[in-house]
Amino acid sequence: MTMGRRCQVTGRSPGVGRNVSHSHVRTPRRFGVNVQDRRYWAPSLGRYVRLRLSAKGIKVVDRDGVDAVVARLRAAGERI
């Protein structure tokens, strides 16, 4: 399991781009991901599960339900 800033559900990770100054000098920068640790009750497992989710990932869990998301992650081989 990698500990980078990566959403477990959507797979979003930091993007890269350039800062452009007033003099138009370009320097590299990173666009971070709004990753948050969330704890959800999974009725199918009978316990809480901890997920690292982006803001979009939280909306996906709210839409599909935690059991469906956990089932998808387990099918993909991720340890929950």
Write out the two tokens for 13. Answer: 């990770």
Q: Confidence class of residue 4 from pLDDT cuts 50, 70 and 90?
A: confident
More confident residue, 24 or 80: 24
- Give the number of other Cβ atoms within 10 Å of residue 57's Cβ: 23
What are φ and ψ of residue 35, in 5° steps?
Answer: -95, 130
Q: CB within 8 A of 78, min separation 6: which ones?
A: 1, 8
User: pLDDT tens-digit profile of 20-67?
Assistant: 999 999 999 999 999 999 999 999 999 999 999 999 999 999 999 999
How many Å is the maximal CA-CA distance in the chain?
58
